[in-house]
Amino acid sequence: MSTDTTATVPTEAPAAEAPPAPPAKVVFDVQDLDVYYGAFRAVRDVSLQVHQHEITAFIGPSGCGKSTVLRCFDRMNDLIEGARVEGRILYHGVDLYDPRVDPVEVRKRIGMVFQKPNPFPKSIYDNIAFGPRLAGMKDDLDDRVEKALRQAALWDEVKDRLKKSAMGLSGGQQQRLCIARAIAVQPEVVLMDEPCSALDPIATARIEDLMQEIKSEYTILIVTHNMQQAARVSDRTAFFTTEVNPESDTRTGLLVEYDSTDKIFSAPSDERTENYVTGRFG
Amino acid sequence: MTDLSFDREAERLLLEATTSRSRRVKDRLASVWMVGSVVVAVVPLAIVVAYVVAKGASALSVDWFTKDLPAVTRKAGGGMGPAIVGTLLITAGAALMAIPLGVLGAVYLHEYGGRGRLAGLIRFMADVMTGVPSIVMGLFIYTVFTLRFGLMGFGGSLALACLMLPIIIRSTEEMLRLVPDELRQGSYALGNRQWRTVVTVVLPAAFGGIVSGVMLAIARAAGETAPLVFVIGAAARSLNTDLFSGNMTALSVQIFSNAQTPFAAAQTRAWGAALTLIAIVFLFTILARVVSARVARRHNA
Amino acid sequence: MASPPVDELTAPRVVPGGDGSALLGSGSSRRGDSLFRWVALLAGLVVLAVLALIAWSTTKEAWPVFREEGLSFVTSDTWIPAEGKYGALAFIYGTILSSLIALVLAVPVSLGIALYANEAAPRRLRKPVVYVMDLLAAIPSVVYGLWGVLVLAPAIQPVYRSISDAVGDVPVLGWLFNGTSGRSFMTAGIILAVMITPIITSLSREVIATVPPAQREAAYGMGATRWEMIRSAVLPWSRGGIVGAVMLGLGRAMGETIAVALVIGSQAQITAHLFEPGDSMAAVIVNQFGEAAGTHRAALIGLGVVLFVVTIVVNVSARSIVGRFDRRMRGA
C-alpha cells in the first residue's frame, strides 16, 4: 500500500487552532492511528484529541471508517479476527494498546452504546444492574439502577415494571435503556455508534436531549451519519472521508478535518469537508 | 369499441384448463402419494400406541409401582418398581454427566472454536458419534468399565451419557447460534470478560432452547435398551437405588426380556413396562415442546 | 434503604490525568478467561476421545478372534461357538438385507411426508405432521420390537404365505418372496422402516426448506403444476441433502439392535428368501452376549467392531454429502 497520498492530508492537531474558551482536559490523544483488517488498511492517519465533558462527533460518508475508529477507543475491534492498529491512542497518557493493558479494564471505564438497541433478554432491572454487579458494586444496587434510569430519562416510564422483560420496550426505550446500562457503571467516557439510526425522530430527539443532560458528567463520542444531529449536539466534529486505492480497488478511510463543530459547519478549512456538509459531493 | 370475440377467447383460455390431462393426472398422483405417505406413517404410530395402552393398562396397579419383580416370570404378580427406579436413576446419572459436558463442548464450538479446524473436526465427529449404534456404546462401556469395575447402574449411565453427549452438543450449538451477536458485544462493552459473557448473557439467552434439546436427548436415552443389557446386571429383581454397586434393572430391558417369553403373564408385564416407558419418554418430549414453545412466545413478545 | 446520597454513588469516577495503571488488568481474571476456554475445549475433546477409545478398546478385546480367524471372520458364514468357529458373514448379510428392505420401504414414504409437510399441506396441518413424526421418533425401539414380535409377526405370517403362494412360479419374485416365517428379514425390514422414517423425514424436510422461494416461483411462473414445480425446482436443489439423509437412515437401521433381535428370527442363513428368518450383527451380540465367554465373547465384540466401522463409514460419507450440501447453500 502506497503512502504517497499522506502529504495531502491535514494531520496537524487542529485543536490548537480553535480551543474552546477554557482549555478542557484532554481525555484521549490519538496519534497517527491506522487500523488494519488483515492486510487491508481500513483507516489511516487519524490524529485528534478528545476533551473532557464535551461531545465529539464523527461524521462522514459510509465506509469512511468512523465507526472503526470509534471502536478503537474501547478496543471492541479486538473482537474482530485479524483487526489490529498502528499508532497510539493515549487515554490520560496511557496507550490503550500497550500490551499490558487489559481490554476488559478499558471497557469498564469506557462505555459503549450500539447502533441497534441490544438489551439483554432479562428484566429491565437486571439489565441496568448487570454492569454494577459485574464491577462488584453490589451495595445500593436499587439506587444505582434508579439513578441510571433517571439520567437516561427512562425512570418514569418503567418504574412500575422494573421486573418485566426489557424486550417488551419500544425501540427508543430500549436504546435509552442501553444508555442507562452503559452509565450505570459510572464510566468516564460513553461511545455511541449511530445510536439513533434505528429510531424515529421523536425518540431521536429524546436521546439528543439526554446527551446534553449527561455531558456535564461524561465525555461523549458519537458516530452519526446525520449531519444535523452532529451540528445539534456536538462541541467538536471530526470529518472522515474515503479514498480509493487504485491498485487494489479498496477503500481506506481517513480523517480530513477536526475542529469545533461551529467551524466545521460554518467555515471548514478543507474543501472536501465543505462539499460534504453543504451537501455537494465530489 | 369492444371486441367481444377477443373476450370470449380469454374466457376460454382461463376457464378451460389448458394444462394437459396427463400433467394434471401426474399432479393428482403426486398429491395422493404425499398424503398417502402421511397416512402410512400415522397408522403404525396409532396402532402401536393403541396396543401399548390397551394391553399395558391392565398391568398397572399400585403393586406395579411398588413391588419387586417376581421370581418366576411366567406367573402373574409382582411389580415393576425396581425397573422404573432403575430407568430414572440411570438416565438421571447419564444426564448429570452429559449435560455439563455437552453444553461446555457446544460453548467451545460456537464461542471459541468458531470456524477453526479443530472445532470443525469436533463438530463433524459429534455428528458421526450420533450415528454410532447404541449396542456399540454398550460394548464400549463393557470393555473399558464393566470388565474392571463390574456390573452396576453407573455403567448404564456412562453408556447413555455417550449417546446423549453428541446430541446435546449439536442442539446446544444450534441454540447458541441463535443468540444475536449484539448481546455479546453489549456485554463486552460493559467490561465483561468472555467467559462471564457466556455464563451471564449467552447461556441465559439460549436457556429455553438448550433445555428443549436436553429433554429430547433424555427422552431418547431413557428408551434405550441395547447399551444397558450387559452392563447394569439387568437380572436384578429387587430395588437398588445405588448406581455404584449391585445389579440394577430398567424398564427397557424388562420389556426386551419379557417379550421373548411365550408366557401370557410375562407378555402382559412387557406391555405394562412399555406403557410406563412411553409415558416417561412422552413426558420429556412434551416438556421439550412446551419449553421451546414458551421460549418462542417470549422472543416474539 | 439507608444509603449514601444517590448523586455521590453515581458521580463519574474522576480519573486523574496520567492515571492509566488501573487499565493494567489483574492477571488472575485474565487467567479465568483462558481457564474457561480450556475447560470448554476439554469438553469438546471428549467427543474425539470417546470415538478413539471405542475403536481402541473394542478392537483390543476382540483381538483374539481377529487373530484366530483373520479375514475369514467376515468371509465365512460358519458361526459355531461350540466348535470355536466364528464366521460372521451371515450376520453381515442379515444386517445389510434388513436395512435395505427398510430403505426401500421408508424412502418413498419419508420423501412423501417431507414434501407434504413443506410443499403441499395446508398451513394448519404442517405442524401436526411434524409433531406426529416427533412422536414416532420418540417411541423407544424396544416398544416397536415388542409390538413387532407379539402383534405384527403372527398377523403378517398368513400374508407372507399367500404372497409366496401367489408369486411362487414367477421367476425373480417367486425367489425373493419366498418363505412363511412371521419373524423374518422382511418383518425386521418393516419394523426398521417405521423406525427410520422419522429420521429421513426430518432431515429431508430441513434440506427441502433451504430451497429458495425464487426457485419455486420461477417454476410456478412458467405454469408448472405443483408436481412439476417439485420435480424441476425442489428435488434437483435438494438431491444431495436427501441422499445424505437416506444414508443416515441406513446407518441407523444397520445399528438398530433390540427391535431387530426380537423380530428377525435369530437363524443365521444367507438366502434371498425375504420371508425366511435370518440374523443380524447387532441382534447376535445382544442375544448371545449373556452366555458367552472367552473367544465367543471376543467374537461378539468383534462383531461390534465391524458394526462400528461400517456405521462410521456410512455416517462419514453421509455427513460429507450433507456438509458439502450445506456449504453450497451458504455459498449461494
Task: Determine, yes or no, domain membership for C130.
Answer: yes
Q: What's residue B3's pLDDT?
A: 52
Q: Domain ends where: B42, B58, B74?
A: B58
Residue of C nearest to B267 (CA): C150
Q: Residue C22 — very low, low, confident or very high, per pLDDT cuts 50/70/90?
A: low
Contact: C23, A146; criterion CB under 8 Å: no
Higher pLDDT, B36 or B12: B36
422382511: which residue's cell?
A: C186
Mean pLDDT across the stretch C156-171? 89
Q: Which residues contact C273 (CB under 8 A, 6 or more apart)?
A: C175, C176, C177, C178, C179
Tell me how close the Cα of C66 comes to any Cα of chain A, in angstroms: 50
Q: What's residue C232's pLDDT?
A: 87
Q: What's residue B6's pLDDT?
A: 60
Contact: A105, C25; criterion CB under 8 Å: yes
DSSP of B243-288, one letter per residue? TTSS----HHHHHHHHHTS--HHHHHHHHHHHHHHHHHHHHHHHHH
Could you state, in order of their start, the residue ranges of all structural domains in chain A? Answer: 26-119+187-277
Task: Determine, yes or no, domain membership for C131.
Answer: yes
Task: Determine, yes or no, domain membership for C10.
Answer: no
Residue B103 and residue B45 share a domain: no
Q: What's residue C320's pLDDT?
A: 85
Structural domain including C168 reads 60-331
The ipTM value here is 0.88
pLDDT in tens, B228-238: 998 998 888 88
**Which of A25, A104, A140 is the closest to C25 by Cβ?**
A104
Q: How many domains does chain C have?
A: 1
Residue B210 and residue B164 share a domain: yes
Q: Residue C174 — very low, low, confident or very high, per pLDDT cuts 50/70/90?
A: confident
**Which of B183, B185, B196 is the closest to A76 by Cβ?**
B185
Structural domain including B237 reads 61-300
Task: Determine, yes or no, domain membership for C15.
Answer: no
Going from the C-alpha of A176 to that of each of A205, A209, B5, C116, C118, the distances in angstroms are 12, 11, 67, 47, 42
Q: Which CATH class is domain A26-119+187-277?
A: alpha beta
Q: What's residue A10's pLDDT?
A: 44
Contact: C3, A106; criterion CB under 8 Å: no
Residue B103 and residue B248 share a domain: yes
Q: Domain ends where: B34, B58, B82?
A: B58
pLDDT at B158 over 90: yes
Task: Output the nine-digit C-alpha cell for A107.
Answer: 471497557
Q: Domain ends where: B58, B85, B101?
A: B58
A and C: number of Cβ contacts within 8 A: 76
CB atoms within 10 A of CB A257: 24
Average pLDDT, chain C: 87
Q: What's residue C123's pLDDT?
A: 86
Pick the range with the lowest mean pLDDT from C90-104, C219-233, C287-301: C219-233
Residue B121 and residue B45 share a domain: no
Task: Determine, yes or no, domain membership for C52.
Answer: no
Mean pLDDT across the stretch C243-264? 93
pLDDT at C2 over 50: no
Residue B178 and residue B274 share a domain: yes
Task: Determine, yes or no, domain membership for C214.
Answer: yes
pLDDT at C273 over 60: yes
Half-sphere exposure of B156 (CA within 13 A, CB side): 37
Q: Which chains lie within 8 Å of chain B at 3 or more CB pairs, if any?
A: A, C
Higher pLDDT, C19 or A282: C19
Residue B115 and residue B46 share a domain: no
Residue B264 and residue B186 share a domain: yes
Q: The domain that contains C239 carries what CATH number? A: 1.10.3720.10
**Which of A106, A114, A122 is the closest to B185 by Cβ?**
A114
Tell me how close the Cα of B193 comes to any Cα of chain A, in angstroms: 6
Q: What's residue A108's pLDDT?
A: 87
Percent of chain C scoring above 70 in pLDDT: 89
Does residue A99 sit at the C interface (CB-CB below 8 Å)?
Answer: no
pLDDT at C3 over 60: no
Q: How many domains does chain B have?
A: 2
Task: Determine, yes or no, domain membership for C252.
Answer: yes
CA of residue C75 relative to chain centroid, distance? 26
Q: What's residue B301's pLDDT?
A: 45
Q: pTM higher than 0.90 for the full model?
A: no
CA A210, A215, A219, A222: dihedral to nearest 10 degrees? Answer: 40
Higher pLDDT, C238 or B90: B90
Higher pLDDT, C206 or C312: C312
Higher pLDDT, B270 or A1: B270
Task: Determine, yes or no, domain membership for C38.
Answer: no
Each residue's pLDDT tens digit in chain A (282 positions)?
A: 444 444 444 444 444 444 455 567 889 999 999 999 888 889 988 999 999 999 999 999 888 889 999 999 999 888 888 888 999 999 988 899 988 888 888 898 899 999 999 999 889 999 999 999 888 888 889 999 999 999 888 999 999 999 999 989 998 999 999 999 999 988 999 999 999 988 888 889 988 998 998 989 999 999 998 888 999 999 999 999 988 887 777 889 999 999 999 999 988 999 899 888 887 543
Mean pLDDT across the stretch B51-80? 89
473367544: which residue's cell?
A: C295
In this structure, which amino acid lies at residue B171? Answer: S
Contact: C19, A92; criterion CB under 8 Å: yes
Residue B103 and residue B43 share a domain: no
Residue of A nearest to C24 (CA): A101
Q: Residue C221 — very low, low, confident or very high, per pLDDT cuts 50/70/90?
A: confident
Residue B262 and residue B166 share a domain: yes
Strand order in the sheet with A110-113: A94-95, A83-91, A26-37, A40-51, A250-260, A236-245, A55-59, A219-223, A189-193, A110-113
Higher pLDDT, C12 or B4: B4
Residue B269 and residue B160 share a domain: yes
